Amino acid sequence: MELPYIEPYKIKMVEAIQTSTINQRKKWIAAAKYNLFKLSSDQVRIDLLTDSGTGAMSDKQWAEIMLGDESYAGSSSYEKLEQTVKQITGFPFFIPTHQGRAAENVLFSALVKKGDIVPGNSHFDTTKGHIEFRKATAIDCTIDEAFDTTVQHPFKGNLDISKLEKIVQKHSAEKIPFVLITITCNSAGGQPVSMQNIKQVHQFCKYYKIPLYFDSARFAENAYFIKTREAGYAKKTIKEIVKEMFSFSDGMTMSAKKDGLVNMGGFIALKNPEVYTSCITYNIIYEGFVTYGGMSGRDMGALAVGLQEATEFSYLQSRIQQVHYLGERLITLGVPVQQPFGGHAIYLDANKFVPNIPKEEYRAQALAIELYISSGIRSVEIGTILADRDPITRNNRYPKLELVRLALPRRTYTLSHLEYIAIAIKNVYDTRNEAKKGYNIHWEAPIMRHFTVELDKL
């Protein structure tokens, strides 16, 4: 028989999981105003809120923590990270930041101005927030296939060139400071972008002289999908594919909390020396001196090791097989999920799961709350609450997909945890017809409301 795959690591340190009862969780979620972000972690049994900064570091990363050089300027940990970023991405310029949105803040301060248009593939919410905060507009150019959870397409994160073309015709290329490709595309379900599509967008940008940037939080997972799904890449290493992907762009922002395998950190990497010079000034104002940018030396060292580990095939294979194991289990149990599965999470299709709850009553959020109460699993709504209001009309934006994201932290949970998650979801699915009412917004922040929103149960 063929031997099954195993995780390419064993566990050296463990952290206790807290248990609780349904009645306790009912009280806690009511006290949290039905916002899962407001729960404390010991009220959660399995935490699938995010894969961001929640993974486990390796022994080699922890060893780097002890070697951290905390010098304000010119620390050796910075140099290790700089060398690694340049080697892995191929970009000549590098600026550390404290996390991904900080990288967005610095880069967009240099590039985005009022009235600009930033086309992309379903921009992440902080990215959209940073664009809209500057009174610019983010336009979604993801291919239509991404918005039907049953369509089998290997690269649902791809951009539709005809949608990009229409934007240029309507607004002119001068209004577009850059096109942004998010790899993998988180908001569309952790879906990858193919190398062919990256090349097409690059050609498009070159023709109109528009720079092309990547939001690269899960760039290594994207490279894994290119290797395993796209013709011509099976024999290439992940590191070769990563280099090729980045060769088509002018720069990247990075949330190292994902494919950097660290708990905190980020960076910008760039081709253009003028953009680099401009970013440095903003980095010093917002983040810190250029050789630390909001990160401690030890964290930069751990990130340098994490980037190497995250771009190893064996790590990525086990990571993505774990996510897909959960997806397969849910399909076997008849639960509607986004297909094909993405890299970092499985997404429940709330439109199909709880269609009886009106979309105006935030059905995906209602489903996430029910899953928490019944099993202690914390997930996150990727639906109307996250989509926020239109900045001009202030009306709710109803996205085509109402999803509940089950994001798997890296190297953190085992197969039995996945089994628990699958059965817990099946149990909620079996009682779905009883769910008819959702929630009302009691209070919300003017921007990025999902983190702090307060809800009333209807």
For ligand F0G, the binding residues (CB under 6 A) are 50, 52, 99-101, 124, 126-127, 182, 186, 215, 217, 255, 257, 266
Choice among 125, 250, 259, 299 that is catalytic = 125
CB of 172 to ligand F0G, least distance (A): 27
The nearer residue to ligand F0G, 298 or 450, going by C-beta atoms, is 450
Contact status, residue 179 vs residue 119, Cβ threshold 8 Å? yes
CB of 217 to ligand F0G, least distance (A): 4
Contact status, residue 340 vs residue 154, Cβ threshold 8 Å? yes
The nearer residue to ligand F0G, 130 or 329, going by C-beta atoms, is 130
The nearer residue to ligand F0G, 9 or 37, going by C-beta atoms, is 37
The answer to whether residue 125 is catalytic is yes
Choice among 80, 123, 130, 450 that is catalytic = 450
Q: Which residues have a Cβ under 8 Å from the Cβ of 452 and sit 6 or more positions away?
A: 35, 37, 38, 444, 445
Both structure tokens of 333:
């149990």
The nearer residue to ligand F0G, 184 or 429, going by C-beta atoms, is 184
Choice among 56, 146, 188, 217 that is catalytic = 217
Choice among 124, 214, 219, 372 that is catalytic = 124
CB of 270 to ligand F0G, least distance (A): 17
CB of 293 to ligand F0G, least distance (A): 13
Choice among 5, 72, 207, 451 that is catalytic = 72
Q: Which residue is nearest to ligand F0G (CB)?
A: 100
The nearer residue to ligand F0G, 266 or 399, going by C-beta atoms, is 266
439: nearest Cα among 452, 455, 424, 417:
455
Q: How far apart are CA 304 and CA 169, in angstroms?
A: 42
Choice among 130, 227, 258, 344 that is catalytic = 258
Q: Which residues have a Cβ under 8 Å from the Cβ of 405 and sit 6 or more positions away?
A: 48, 345, 346, 347, 379, 380, 381, 382
The answer to whether residue 258 is catalytic is yes
CB of 41 to ligand F0G, least distance (A): 15
Choice among 140, 160, 215, 259 that is catalytic = 215
CB of 24 to ligand F0G, least distance (A): 26
Pairing label, strands 179-182, 251-255: unpaired
Q: How far apart are CA 193 and CA 141, in angstroms?
A: 12
The nearer residue to ligand F0G, 117 or 380, going by C-beta atoms, is 380
CB of 299 to ligand F0G, least distance (A): 13
The answer to whether residue 344 is catalytic is no
The answer to whether residue 124 is catalytic is yes
Segment 361-366 long-range contacts (CB within 8 Å, at least 24 positions apart): 361/437, 361/438, 361/439, 361/440, 361/458, 362/438, 362/439, 362/441, 362/455, 363/402, 363/438, 364/402, 364/403, 364/404, 365/34, 365/438, 365/439, 365/455, 366/435, 366/437, 366/438, 366/439
The nearer residue to ligand F0G, 116 or 381, going by C-beta atoms, is 381
Pairing label, strands 266-270, 93-97: antiparallel
Backbone angles phi, psi at 442, to 5 degrees: -90, -40
Q: Which residues have a Cβ under 8 Å from the Cβ of 3 and sit 6 or more positions away?
A: none
Enzyme catalytic residues: 72, 124-125, 215, 217, 258, 450
